[in-house]
Amino acid sequence: MSLEELNVQIEEKHLVVNRIREEIAKVLVGQRELIDGLLMGLFTRGHILIEGVPGLAKTSAVKALADTVRANFKRIQFTPDLLPADLVGTEIYRPKTGDFSIKKGPLFNNIILADEINRAPSKVQSALLEAMQERQVTIGETTFPLADPFLVMATQNPIEQEGTYPLPEAQVDRFMLKILIDYPEKNEEKEIMKRVGFDAPEAVQPVLDPSEINAIGKLINSIYMDEKLKDYIVDLVFATRDPAGYNIDVADYIQFGASPRATIFLSLTARAYAFLQGRAYVTPQDVKTIAPAVLRHRILLTYEAEAEDIDTDQIIGRIFDSVEVP
C-alpha cells in the first residue's frame, strides 16, 4: 500500500473514530487520555487496566465504548467470594444421562468489563491468564476458543484501599496499557453535575461492527515506523532492565524491568496513537506520549523506592531524560 493510499484510508477511518468520540462524549466529560486508551485497546485487541478512586466514571467509560460496538458486552463485578468457574464456566453432571454438559461463563463475550478487578483473590485472577493471553479457556478437559474480538477492560481502585488485593505480576503484564485517571477539572465537574443531576442522559448509539474493528487494526499495522524509532523503543525498554548501561542512576530503585511484551505493545500502541492523530507515520513524541501507560505496570520497584516515595512514572521520566531521542 502506498503512502497516499494509506493516508486516504486513515482519513476515511478517522471519521469513524470521531463518531465514536461523539457518542462516548454523550455520557463522559473530558478524560481524553482514557478515551484514547480505550480506543487503542479496541482497535489493537489489547487489554486495558484503568486505575482511579471510586466515582471517576471508569465503569461508565468502558460501558459507553462497548455501546458504540455491535458486539456482545458483559460486565463482571469482581468480589472476594467470586470463583474461577464464575468466569470461565463449569461442567454440570446430568444424572439422567450420566454424562457432563458444559455451561459457559461470561468470558464468552466480545468485550468484558472486569469491574473492580482487584477485589477478587488470586485464584480468580488465575482464571483470566489463559483467556487474556491465548484467548481461549479450558473447562474440564475441553478447550474452547473465545469470541473475536475478545477484550478485557478492567477497572481497579488504588491498592491502598481497604478490601483490595494486588494483582499477580503475570496477569498485570498481560494488560497492554495501565491508565491512571484523576479528578475532573472544575468546569468539567460542573458539566457532569448538569448532565447527571439535571438532564436526562442521551443514549449511546452503535457505530461500528467487529469487521470494521479488524479493518482498522490492519490499517494500524500498516502505519510507518522508522528503524531509528524501533531502536528507540528497544532502548527505552532495555533501560528499565539495565539503567546503569544508559548512565541512569535508578538501578537501586528497580527490582525487575519491563518484559518483551513492553517492546511489542509500545510499538503497537505508538502506531495506534499515530492513527488516532490521523497520521500514517509514527513520531518520537507518539512513543513518549504512550510509553508511561505501557511501562508503568511492568516495572517492579524495590523497597528502597517505596521508602523514598518514588513511583514508576518518576523512573520512566528519568529514562526519557537520558535515552537519546532519534
Out of 90-99, 268-277, 294-303, pick the least confident: 90-99
Q: What share of the chain is helix, strand, coil (3-state, %, to 5)?
A: 50, 15, 35
User: 117-141 pLDDT, tens per residue?
Assistant: 888 888 888 888 888 888 888 887 7
The count of other CB atoms within 10 Å of the CB of residue 317 is: 12
Q: Do 3-199+208-212 and 223-322 agree at the fold level?
A: no
What CATH topology corresponds to 223-322?
Helicase, Ruva Protein; domain 3 (1.10.8)
**Whole-prediction pTM:** 0.87
Task: Tell me what percent of the residues of the chain surpass a pLDDT of 90.
Answer: 14
- The Cα 169–Cα 166 span in angstroms is 9
**Partners of 100 in beta bridges:** 93
Q: Please identify, in words, the CATH class of the domain defined by 3-199+208-212.
A: alpha beta
**Which one, of 118, 114, 100, lies nearest residue 66 by Cα?**
114
Chain centroid to CA 95: 43
Strands (E), 157-196: 177-180
The three-state secondary structure class of 65 is: helix
Domain ranges of the chain: 3-199+208-212, 223-322
How many helices (H) and strands (E) are present in the chain, helices listed first? 13, 11
Out of 58-62, 96-100, 102-106, 321-325, pick the least confident: 96-100
**Sequence-distant (≥ 6) Cβ neighbours of residue 226 within 8 angstroms:** 281, 282, 326
Mean pLDDT of 17-28: 83
**Which one, of 158, 202, 246, 176, lies nearest residue 167 by Cα?**
158
Per-residue burial over 219-239, b = 16 or more CB atoms within 10 Å of its CB, e = otherwise: bbeebebeeebbebbebbbbb
- The Cα 185–Cα 191 span in angstroms is 10
User: 204-222 pLDDT, tens per residue?
Assistant: 788 888 888 888 888 898 8
Q: Could you tell me if 315 and 299 are in contact, meaning their C-beta atoms sit under 8 angstroms apart?
A: yes
